[in-house]
Every structure is written in structure tokens, then in C-alpha cells.
Structure 1
Amino acid sequence: MTSQIVTRPKTVVVATPRGGRHGGGRWIPFLVRRIGRMLIAMFVIVTAAFVVLRAAGGDPVRAALGPTAPASVVAERRAQLGLDDPLIVQFWNYLTGIVFRGDLGVSLITGRSVNELVEYRLPATVQLAGIAFIVILLIAIPLGLAIAILTAGNRRRPVEVAFTSVTGFFAAVPEYLIGVALLTLFAITIPLLPVAGISGPQSYILPVLALALGASASLSRIARVEALNVLSDDYIRTARSKRLPAAMVYFRHALPNMLTATLTLGGALLATMIAGSVLVERVFNWPGMGSAFVQAIITKDYGIVQGLAIVYAAIILVVNLLVDVVLAILDRRTTILETA
């Protein structure tokens, strides 16, 4: 009888990083790096805001109170604000006030705390930007996917030309000009909607559209490119070869795989949109930080300008951090945890 030697296949054990692909071993260094960069960026922004406003020249208190204000009142206000101290002392007091007390300063005109102004105005700005961001996603992602489906394989060139022309136009026009056009057409010429302020749900329509149209145009172009890349992948061709329903191919297989880059860039647009809301709020007299910021510039109230500029910068930095975190969670192929 012939003996047979049976060998068992070797089991290969692949070591994985502790905590999995997105374990704490990678998250902690990532967060330490990013928070450290945020702190450095905030220090630079605070320093720049302090230096630029003081390098503008002139007496900010005199500019804020007006040329007819008595010299004694101006001198008293300067003493209250510590503007007679050396610049290095002023900067140290301002920096330590922000770091240890969260004190953003006071208005040069009214003496009101900038923190109170932010507490009162920030919710309106966040509501406006948040609703506009949701509208952007609801417009851009379906539109980009639909145009990609219609124009895949260089089909329907007129549709592609019309899409790129219209979206290119809206992407190039500043938000405040879109706001002026909408205000003129739908609130003044055809009085369908409120002209300014918050007087009900209808008050959100025009400012939200002013913020959302340009960003939706930009994001829909990006969504179309991502969708075209996904639709040309092998697994989509395999799904089609299995004669799966078109809805399943597009919404179950294509849509989730195009969302990562689209949502990432959408988050970046949210940061720029918050900054861009400054002039839109002014156009619609929206009771948010933007209108207060513009008014402070007009009245030369540098205390408010300085404080609100720091708040806007902090919001943008936090949004960018959240975008990177969401990207790392959604896309396991990303190397952002190692490189960011």
C-alpha cells in the first residue's frame, strides 16, 4: 500500500493595527496634530487682527466716537480700553483675555461686550448657513448624478453644454449679487417675499437661495465628475451585466461611492459659505454676525471687527477639522489620518 503524506495548508495570520483600521492608535496622533495646527493658526489670526487694525493709523476711539466727541470723553474711553498702554502690553492683555476668559473685547462705541453680540447674532448666522448647506446637498448631488447618467459616454452633448454653461455662470457670480437680483425681482418688483429681516419661514427663502445657488452649481459639477468616474468602474458594468434595475445600479451602487469626495468638498464649501454670508446678511438685513460685521466696519468700531473676525476664523478652522474627520470615517482608503 502506498502511503500518502497529507499536508495541511498553512494559515497566514495578517497583523492589523491595534484598534482596527481607524483605531485609537491613529486617531489620537491625528487629533493632536490637527488641534495643534488649529491653535497655531488661531494665534496667527489673533496676532494679525490685532496688528492690522492698529497699523491702519489714526485714533480708533476718535474714529468710532466721531470728530465732535469731546477730547475728555475720548481720553476716558481710551483709558478704559487700555489703549494708552504700550502695544505689547495691549496684545498680551488681549491674548490672555481670549485664552483664559474667552473675552473677545468690547465695542469702542457702546462699550458692549463682543461676546454678548456673538451670543445674540451667531444663532441666526448658523441657521442661515445650515439651511443653505442642506439645500446645496439636496440640489447638487441629485443634479450631478442625473447629468452624469444622461451624458455618460459622451452622449447628449447639448445637455452637457447647457449644464456646464448654466452652472459655470452661477458659480462665477458672487453670492451678494445673486442676493441683490433675487431681492429686486421677488421682493421689490414682484412683492412675493419679505424684503429684509426675519418675519417667518418665508424670510429664509431669498437669503438661502442667494447662498445656495452658486455653491450648488460648483458642487454639482464636482458631483457629476465623481459620478462619471464611478459609472465607468468595473463593478458598475458588472451590475449592469446582471441586468439589475437601473435604480438599484445608480442609487445602491453608484451613489454611495460618489458621496465621499462630494461631501468632503461640500464641507469645505460650508466653511467658505459661512464667510461669504457676511455680505448676503447685509443685503437682506439679516440679524446675524455678518450684518454686524459690515456695520462695525462702516462705523469703524474696530473692537467688534477684531472680535468677529476671530470668531469667523475659528468657525472655519473647526469646520475644516470636522470635514477631515468625516472623510476619515467614510473613506477607509484615505491616508488623511497619517498625513493631516
Structure 2
Amino acid sequence: MTAPLSRLTAMARRHPWTAFCGRRLLRLAVSLCAVFTGSFAMIHLIPGDPVRAALGIDAAPALVAARRHQLGLDQPLVAQYRHYLSALAHGDLGASLVTGTPVAELLETRLPATLEIALPAFLATVLVAFPAGLLAAIHTREGRRPRGELVFTAVTATLTGLPDFVLAAGLTAGLAVGLELFPIAGATGAASLVLPVLALALAPTALLARIVRVEALRVLAEDYVRTARAKRLPSAALYLRHVAPNMLTASLTVAGSLLPAMIAGTVLVEKVFAWPGVGSALAQSVVAQDYPVVQAMVLVLGTTVLVANFLVDLLLGLLDPRSTIREM
């Protein structure tokens, strides 16, 4: 047993990037298994009978029994779990208890709409928070401009503390109803993207900007930055070449951890703006007690979050190769 472990350790030291990717893939596989098992267990842990909830309390017992048999819910749990994994392997996510529509068809129409607001919101968060946090650190380093620091802290703390649905309601009242600049709800063109994207992006942008500022202040206090400043390097070279790369890894780690929260936030934001995405379909399915749809939506959202975190980990490994060695 010791010899194979020694060979694996030696191989990992010779190829740290390969070992790093292998560990991340193993972690992703374990996490996906947990998501698959949790989504399967969910429909059995919810109180009540999902079939009767979908058919109505007045449905004939024979109809309920036939529907349960059709869905395989009268089989032992182990057999149901095997069937569930086999169906997932073949791309079968089940069908709605209410409409009978395959969930895969529902996702095919709903998922692009969710990505249409989630991806721009995440990109906007990264593209705005990094320069905003860096500029705030530059202008408030070493105790300079305390009023500017107070304004930055107050604004970002307020935005960070507001829930997504409060931001969505405030944006609707101010920019859609009050100023009539954007549509109130629905997917009616490019203008209808603005409010949902803002509602998703404002709080994460404020939080990430605070983290970036703290990291930038730490780097600005380092001796090598003082040395570079003493050499009278141009500001662009100083901040972009010496400060930004050294604060990037920790800040990107935080940015990656914000992505799951933003994906989860689409549920409420889509509901507020009547956006035809996965989040609004999930909310409707919960109200209708259409548990197979809820199960599939949770599975897809959970898998999306895990894959996104996996890709962020790989990106961080590329940006900071030292992290692949520190895990040895």
C-alpha cells in the first residue's frame, strides 16, 4: 500500500498541474454525486404524496395508484435510485406531473433565458468591482481621503446588505415605474435585460469591490511596491504590473464564490420581473407542487454551480501556479 502511494506522490510532484486537475475532478465528482443523491431524496422527504398533490385531493385512488406505478414510485428506494441514475445517464430528467411535458423540453426553453441575465450580471460584477476596488484603494491608501473612504464603505455596505428582491423592487419602482426608462417586466428586448441584470449584479459588485480594496491596500503596503514607487515608475506600470496581479488571486476566489449566490438569486429576480427563466419555472413548480420539475431544476442549478466553481478553480490554478504546489 505504501509503495503505490509513494509513486503517486512522486508523480504529483513531477506533474503538479496534472495532480491539481485530478484533485479538482475528484472533488467535482464527489460533489455531483451528493447533488444527484440529494435531488433524488428531495422528492421522498417532502411531506405528502406528490402524485396526489398533482392530481388533486379528489382523484380516484385507482388513478393515483396507476400514476405512481407509471412513475415507479411504488418500487423500493434502491430500485428507484438505480432507475433515476440510469435515466440521468440517458439525459432523461422526467416529466411534469401537472402538464406531462418532459422537463428537458422545459429546460431547453428556460435555461437560455436564465443565462441571458446571469452571465452578464457576473461579467458586470467582475468588470466593475475590480477597477472600483483598486481605485478606491489607491485614493484612500495610508489614511488619505477619509471622507471618500466613508462614502465608499457606506455605499457598498448598503448595497451588500440589501436582498436581491428588495433591489429588484426598488429598481422597478425607480427606473421602470417612476422614470419609465425600462420595461417593468417580461423579456421584450435588450432594454428588458437591464433591470434584472442590475438587480443580480449590484450587491455582489459592492461586496467584491470591498474585498478588492482590502486586498489592494495590503499589496500597496508591501515593500516591493514602495520600492517601485521610489523608482518613480509610471502609475499605470506600478498599479497594473505590480499591484493588480498580486491581489488578483484572492479576489478571484471571492468572485468565484459569489457565482452560486448569483445563480440562486435568479429565482427571486426572475419572479419579480416575470422573466421566463429557470428561476421563475422553479418558483411556479414549487407553488404547483410539481415535484419532478422542482427536482430537475434543483439538479441543473446545483450542477451548474459546481461546474462553474470547478472552472474558477482551474482558472485560479493557471493564474497562480504556486497554489498547485502548496496543496502537495
The verdict on a shared fold, with TM-score over 0.5 as the criterion, is yes
Structure 1 residues 226-268: Cα deviation after superposition (integer angstroms, max 9, x where no partner): 1111212223222221222223322333223322222222122
Residues 1:174 and 2:166 aligned together: no
The alignment status of 1:39 with 2:36, answered yes or no, reads no
- Give the Å deviation of 1:225: 0.8
Q: Which runs of 5+ in 2 are unaligned?
A: 1-11
- C-alpha separation between the residues in 1 aligned to 2:49 and 2:326? 48
Higher deviation after alignment, 243-252 or 107-116: 243-252
Matched AA of 2:320: D
- Matches for 1:20-169 after TM superposition, within 5 Å: 25-98=15-88, 100-169=89-158
CA distance in 2, matches of 1:62, 1:88: 23
- CA distance in 2: counterparts of 1:254 and 1:36, whole angstroms: 34
Identity %: 49
Distance in 2 separating the partners of 1:195 and 1:130: 21
Residues 89, 110 of structure 1: alpha-carbon distance in 2 compared, 3 angstrom cutoff:
same
After the TM superposition, which of the residue ranges 213-222 and 186-195 deviates more from structure 2?
186-195
- Matched with 1:225 is 214
**Alignment RMSD (CA, Å):** 2.0
Q: Bigger shift: 158-167 or 39-48?
A: 39-48
What residue in structure 1 maps to residue 227 of structure 2?
Answer: 238
Q: Is the 8 A contact 2:35 2:303 kept in 1?
A: no
- Distance in 2 between the 1:302 and 1:190 partners? 40
Correspondence 1:250 to 2:239: yes
- Shift in CA distance, 171/331, structure 1 to aligned 2, threshold 3 Å: same
Is the contact made by 1:268 and 1:319 (CA closer than 8 Å) also made in structure 2? no
Q: Contact between 1:136 and 1:215, CA under 8 Å: does it hold in 2? A: yes
1:296 to 265, 285, 292: 285
Paired with 2:286 and 2:64, the residues of 1 have a C-alpha distance of 19
Supply the distance in 2 between the matched residues of 1:302 and 1:183 (Cα, whole angstroms): 31
CA change 1:121–1:24 in 2 (3 A) is farther
Shift of residue 88, structure 1, vs aligned partner: 2.4
Code of the residue aligned with 1:258 in structure 2: it is M
TM-score, normalising length: structure 1: 0.87
Asked if structure 2 preserves the Cα contact closer than 8 Å seen for 1:26 and 1:338, the reply is no
Q: TM-score, with normalisation over the residues of structure 2?
A: 0.90
Higher relative contact order (CA 8 A, sep 6+): 2
The aligned counterpart of 2:316 is 327
CA contact (8 A) 1:328 1:336 kept: no
Q: Name the SS for the 1:108 alignment partner.
A: coil
Contact 1:171 1:218 in 2 (8 A): yes
Contact 1:324 1:336 in 2 (8 A): no
Q: Going by fraction, where is helix more abundant, 1 or 2?
A: 2
Q: Check conservation: 2:17, 2:324, Cα contact below 8 A.
A: no
Report how many aligned residue pairs link the two structures: 317
Contact map agreement 1:147 1:160 (CA 8 A) in 2 = yes
Structure 1 unaligned segments of length 5 or more: list them: 1-21
Code of the aligned partner of 1:40: V
Matched with 1:6 is none
1:201 aligns with 2:190: yes
CA distance in 2 between partners of 1:112 and 1:23 (Å): 51
Once residues 322 and 197 of structure 2 are traced to their aligned partners in structure 1, the CA distance between those partners, rounded to angstroms, is 35
* Residue 265 of structure 1 pairs with residue 254 of structure 2: yes
